A and B are shown apart, each in its own frame.
Chain A
């Protein structure tokens, strides 16, 4: 039960892919990709910044989806996935915020601006920090899981609302539009696009690898906990 050999094999393959992919990404980002005209070398942080944002959003989306599934099915596995995914989401949104600041300082002459995208990301970060705190302050029982799931649902509904209300707040847009779905002129040079897509793929593998790792950890912790509880019952 502790070592499910099939998922262990998947995990190993992902780990190997990840190692090679990361080396390749570093090569792509720092050697292969051309230097951007106006921004210079700083722009290379883009290949970490944007994929991290993708992973953060994926993490929160998975968390919300599995929270709904948990409330309907009451299967504690769904709750575990939601929890672990939110954790990874917080990690990567922190990376997004930090890399964003490092990038903004030389380009916008400021660490921070209350642009809709930045603000939304910041509030999103707060929301899921609150989610993790809530999980810490409730018991590891079904009720705690239900509380967390309800909060995750409200929080994920809040994200588009936050974005919308900040857009209305006033035109402070500094952040560029999304590169992929954006206008014609925001397109990337082919080498850059390739580097970006490759990095994105590696970050997604990283997400799934971290998910598997943390899920296995949580499973082990649960088994350990139930063993402890049984022992305690015997001694009573």
Chain B
């Protein structure tokens, strides 16, 4: 007890406790007065309010931001949609109201009652959605019969509308109802079940920007559920508008060119990395996602062998085929395995070990050095180089050129591609690297896999003298007042550190491929502007494997090679780079190159391009 000192008088404590008691009484008196005020004085009024449950909260959805192309052409907007709901407690007698309504909504009364019963767990003052997006005629019919339809409410909600059906669907993406996982993951704090969120493409990438903030109002309603007074309103904040780097004219041109085929086209401004067009074919109907599609429609989409739901430009992994030869050429030149004068003789085949590796040209190319080898795409020349460089050194160059890893474009599910190494193969298959495989990968066959956007970035960097820009899809974000909220500028992902000589030789090879007789893309040259490019024909399956199938013709189609063409133009100081892949298009020179050529023409001043260039300045 000795510790408790200094206290002269234990009574002191007790006196102070008495002080607290007074404070406590005062506080409780305050509570009692308030209680009296609410219950005794305000009791009548509050009971009235409570009886009709008349203070309700209504949500105001924020209009989602719009999406424009680089020139300000609108690509996605919102249109008003009319949804019909019923508030069971206001709709009494419910059966009668539903009976009146059923015919107008093209449902049977029983179907509607079923919907209401499903939601019976909800409080009866909460609206039950009966039919979304009714047409204007139905709307008019309901308005006319208003008095026979108590408790029926029509909400106008903004619905996403993609202006150009199927166009740029893989870039823009689509919306879908928020899933339970998304709701619980915490990334969508403002969302509720039934909300639509971006599921794919730009709609998903820029979800937080496009979404805006929900508002709402407190309203007082009468016994019929009609609003008599708005007590307080919190305005919704509309989402920001997004301007893409896409050029809609060019985009449409590419879509036109690729129509009916499976494949991808991507175009980029090599000076900035801005994506000018990105097409993946076949496409899908984005509006169908918003209005809801049937199970059959969805089944048809996902079982289509041409994979319409995949953005082949960034998700599609293909053997690069002959377009890869520039990597082999660069590796050979930089490693000193060859120089500009080194020639190899091509008799049309190359013997390695006890196997014969054929050149695509049966008669052979004769003696070629690196520039002609690129121009004429001589396989034998690159077999020789590949054999000397070896897989692992080749892989270093491929990686340095941006292959084997995503480019970082702001779109979902971007594929890595694959740059094989001997260690990779041993780990993967357990079998050591075979010398012959050096030959296959040197011409872009074998294990190599690239995405069209990777190949495009590579060619754009060769074209602009060595800067690898991160492919950019967003131009800027503006708020509804038109003020720029965020503006994107070109980002350098890497710089190619090769000698000027190497660069020069590769660029010449690409120029000669299009502009000299014997070049593989000679047919696609353009008198107005010099184009540089490289064709490729990617083997899909070993042609020996014959499958037994019912439909020989279809099997034949799916065994055809993929056609590549990657190019930039003008050859000096390029303004556009294009990568084209046509699945089962057989030859790069005949199917893919004309598409790229048409794109370049459109962009650099074909029929409508002249004024476009002027507009851009």
The answer to whether A and B interact is no
User: Which residues of B are in contact with A by a Cβ distance under 8 Å?
Assistant: none
